Amino acid sequence: MIQEIAIKNFAIIDDLRIRFDKGLTILSGETGAGKSIIINAVNLLLGSRASATLIRTGEKSAEVEAVFLVGQNTQPASRLKHHGYEPDEQIVVKRIISSTNHNRIYINGSLATMQVLADITGNLASISGQHAHQQLLNEDIHLLLLDAFAGLSGLREKVASSFNKLLPMLHQRRQLLELQADHARRRELLEFQRDEIEKARVAEGEDEKLERERKRLKNARELYALVYESVETLYDANGSIIEQFAAIRGNLEKALNIDDTLGKQLNTISEMEAGAADLAGELRGFLSGLELDETSLEQVEERLDTLTRLKKKYGSTLADVISRLEKIKQELAGLENLSEQIDDLEKKISKKRDELSRVAVELSGKRQKAGVSFARSMEKELSELKMEGTKFDVVFSHTPAGENTNPYLVADGKVITESGIDKISFHMTPNVGEEPKPLASIASGGELSRVVLAIKALLAGKESVETLIFDEVDAGIGGETAEVVGRKLAALSRFHQTICITHLPQIAKFDHHYRIEKHVESGRTTTKITRLDEENRVLEIARMTGGKKITEKTLAHAREMLENVKPLKDKQPVRRKT
């Protein structure tokens, strides 16, 4: 349940805090006072999209925060744990809307995404307003409502699970069949690619070595001349480095006879002389191995062309080419046992299809029985809501299997979807003697609001939603009907925390009551909310009954309305198990 909501700089709300109780809470006030703004704030906490236009004029950001109380074994607590939050009896949700669109979401003090917010808060509250009335006209929602009424959600989830496991298997089968149909051409291509790579005898890093070799061969003559001249300078020419080192060594040998401290220097020049001789020998060896044949260059360039072509076809590096060869070999091996793969897969598909078909048919049978019970229960609820004589039907239909239907997704000649084999539509007529028609064809705004309320009453205690919020539940009704709607809301609040925005005193007289009003302060319009004590409730009920002019007669009538509802209020609420 919602324990507390805090709203700051949101639309015309400056700073507002509301603390809610169990049972039924009424929000009343003049049109435009800010009641629906509070509903919009709750919608944000449940995951709706934010806009900078919601920020109060002149402010940089708006904040909406709420404290939800949850049981340990409830779905919200489970989703909280699933997303890595510490389990707690409270879920604190905060949204900050920025004028720069840098919006933030916090759950129990930690940043969260929109997807996580919607998942965790999805079962915390449900808002029934104009959108919910219009949503009821969408027949896709009717099946969900029937399943919830009949307690078939678990079986429906089994159907969805089997269906979603079967789909990827069918996709894999289709791919294998297409591959099989193209088997010969595919084999021919793979064998050509395998032979092409294997014939080239590719070695990883070979291209880099060949690039160095090509560079050397292209510049062989210049390279020969440079190295040859170096050998001449070192060893062969008159006055070569070797001769100069020998002369220096001779001088140091003579000097050593005079000063024996020059032994180290003599060793150094001897090593340099030997090193120069070794270097000359190595360079001569290099010259003897240097190829000046242009045929060698052509062979290297031809090999590089082959490797470049392979890299263009099979990968950016020779390692990629080698890896591609292994994959080609694996695919060729797979083609060898393709028929066997298809046979094995079809056995698995048949088993999964039988399972799906069985649960889908079972679900359909239970829905058929539940449809009759749901229709009669709706007629009873609508009769209590002053729609006596209303005829309500749950009309079943199916999508017949056609020529192009996948045979694995058919049960009893009907197409299986994620929700089973059924389609349903709620039909109704509020006029005796008329045939029931789809809701979209006949229901007025006032009638739709009562249909929504009747459904909520039927699902009381069965829905996992903790808090029900009604906006515009009083649309198109008044008088005795409003009294009945109020009593129905009060009864509903025995199972769910219920919050209702209303303009009707017949509804507002039940349980906790807040008055919302706007006023101008320092040249700015702001919204204020006040929890009404017994005396102020009388005044508010009188205002809702008679308008601005409150007389002793309207006050007496307001007191009488509140006195008549006290016995119902004094009953201990029966809370649903969580």
- pLDDT at res. 351: 94
- Are residues 119 and 2 part of one domain? yes
Give the pLDDT band (50/70/90) at residue 464: low
**Is it the case that residue 27 has pLDDT exceeding 60?**
yes
Q: Is 179 exposed, middle or buried (0-12, 13-18, 19+ CB in 10 A)?
A: middle
**Is it the case that residue 335 has pLDDT exceeding 80?**
no
Contact present, 525 and 12 (Cβ < 8 Å): yes
- Are residues 126 and 28 part of one domain? yes
- Are residues 209 and 111 part of one domain? no
- pLDDT at res. 353: 94
- Spatial distance between the Cα atoms of 469 and 36, rounded to a whole number of angstroms: 11
Contact present, 121 and 42 (Cβ < 8 Å): no
For residue 444, which of 460, 431, 457, 458 has the smallest C-alpha distance?
Answer: 431
- pLDDT at res. 577: 41
Q: Which residue has the higher pLDDT, 33 or 278?
A: 278
Q: Flag whether 87 is in a domain.
A: yes
List all residues 6 or more positions away from 61 whose beta carbon is below 8 Å from its beta carbon.
9, 55, 96, 97, 98, 99
Q: Flag whether 568 is in a domain.
A: yes
Q: Flag whether 50 is in a domain.
A: yes
- Are residues 41 and 109 part of one domain? yes
Give the pLDDT band (50/70/90) at residue 365: very high
pLDDT in tens, 177-233: 887 877 778 888 899 999 999 999 989 888 888 888 777 777 777 777 788 889 888
Give the pLDDT band (50/70/90) at residue 133: low
- Which ranges in 219-262 belong to alpha helices (H)? 220-231, 241-258
Calculate helix-pair angle for 294-314, 206-218, nearest 10 degrees: 150
Share of the chain above pLDDT 90, in %: 38
Contact present, 503 and 482 (Cβ < 8 Å): no
- pLDDT at res. 576: 44
- Spatial distance between the Cα atoms of 48 and 264, rounded to a whole number of angstroms: 88
Question: What pTM value is reported for the model?
Answer: 0.63
Q: Which of 294, 316, 335 is the last residue of a domain?
A: 335
Q: Flag whether 282 is in a domain.
A: yes
- Are residues 124 and 207 part of one domain? no
Contact present, 424 and 467 (Cβ < 8 Å): no
| CATH number of the domain that residue 481 is part of | 3.40.50.300
- Are residues 111 and 193 part of one domain? no
Query: Total domain count for the chain?
Result: 2
Q: Flag whether 445 is in a domain.
A: no
Q: Which of 311, 335, 359 is the last residue of a domain?
A: 335
Nearest-10 Cα torsion for 268, 273, 279, 280:
170
Q: Flag whether 431 is in a domain.
A: no
Give the pLDDT band (50/70/90) at residue 286: confident
- Are residues 211 and 71 part of one domain? no
- For residue 159, the one-letter residue type is V
Q: Flag whether 369 is in a domain.
A: no
Q: Flag whether 544 is in a domain.
A: yes
Q: Which of 299, 317, 335 is the last residue of a domain?
A: 335
List all residues 6 or more positions away from 511 whose beta carbon is below 8 Å from its beta carbon.
23, 24, 25, 26, 490, 493, 569
Contact present, 249 and 269 (Cβ < 8 Å): yes
List all residues 6 or more positions away from 123 whose beta carbon is below 8 Å from its beta carbon.
74, 75, 76, 79, 464, 465, 466
- Are residues 193 and 128 part of one domain? no
Q: Which residue has the higher pLDDT, 442 or 142?
A: 142
Q: Which residue has the higher pLDDT, 226 or 294?
A: 226
Give the pLDDT band (50/70/90) at residue 444: low
- Are residues 314 and 234 part of one domain? yes
Count Cα atoms within 13 angstroms, Cβ side, for 527. Answer: 29
Q: Which two tokens stand for residue 406?
A: 């996948």
The residue segments making up the domain with residue 554 are: 1-132+467-578
- Which ranges in 18-152 belong to alpha helices (H)? 35-45, 75-82, 114-121, 130-136, 140-150
- Spatial distance between the Cα atoms of 306 and 324, rounded to a whole number of angstroms: 16
The DSSP secondary-structure symbol of 572 reads P
